[in-house]
Amino acid sequence: MNTLSDGLQDKSGDDLSAELSTCLERQRQAYFAAPNPDFTQRKQDLLSLKQMVSDNRDEISRAINRDYGNRSVHETLLAEIIVVIDGINFALKHLKRWMKTHHREIDFALYPGAKNRVIPQPLGVVGVIVPWNFPIQLSFTPLIYIFAAGNRAMVKMSENSLHLSRLLKRLAPDYFPAEKLSFFEESGRVGIEFSQLPFDHLLFTGSGATGKAVMASAAKNLTPVTLELGGKSPAVIAEDYPMQTAIERILFAKLFNAGQVCVNVDYVFVPEGRVEAFVD
């Protein structure tokens, strides 16, 4: 029997902390050595990211299927691979404009003769904590904009994505040096240690309860945090809308990815006179 724990190295807390801290320090030193990558470098990083996904599409799909127990390759292609490739193409199209200095208006009555500019600059090293439901989309989509902005990244995958985590750890060095991009698998303690690192920014997607813990850990270092948390998502069926079409679309949303979608339909508003038709 193939178990998820096969090949997982059991590190002590000190060893784990040292490994994460060493990676962060290596990336930060590389950032200090070249703090503002030019357009050519950022474009190359995005193309390498695209190549990494494209070259290994089938292997990535198989790894996700193993982590899920069973997941349609078509769902992986539609919800993850295509989304990432689309995002990279979008960033490549707009990258040069995003990097430009932007002029801003000022109040000349208060500041006569002054000029005001916004100069986009990289932050440094960005941490990404990824959930299991869309592991490629929610790891690589942040990486698109992390690299477009000239940053470096450390990515912590979910404990439920171990086959994919190990695949990405094996593949990444073929496309990026460790001081640009590193992946980490979850062994039960990594997430806590990871969120306590003094990143220049930290991204987290997951539950509200875990989000609070992540933000509390990051606060100790005054690390800015972006949280994408769960919520409630209603569907509203209008009085004059075809019931069959509404039902088909709601059920498609509920069943897609086995219902594990953060903006999935949680409850439905139905006109009082159409409740029985909806239930039927």
> pLDDT by residue (tens digit) across 88-132?
999 999 999 999 999 999 888 888 889 899 999 999 999 999 999
| Contact indicator for 243, 277 with CB cutoff of 8 Å | yes
> Can you tell me the mean pLDDT for 6-26?
76
- Which of 34-43, 69-78, 131-140, 230-239 shows the lowest mean pLDDT across its residues? 230-239
- Which of 135-139, 193-197, 228-232 shows the lowest mean pLDDT across its residues? 228-232
Answer yes or no: is pLDDT of 137 > 70: yes
| Contact indicator for 106, 114 with CB cutoff of 8 Å | yes
**Residue 189: per-residue pLDDT:** 85
Answer yes or no: is pLDDT of 5 > 60: no
> Can you tell me the mean pLDDT for 254-280?
91
**Residue 16: per-residue pLDDT:** 84
> Can you tell me the mean pLDDT for 242-268?
92
Q: What is the pTM of this model?
A: 0.89
Catalytic residues: 228, 262
Higher pLDDT, 111 or 200: 200
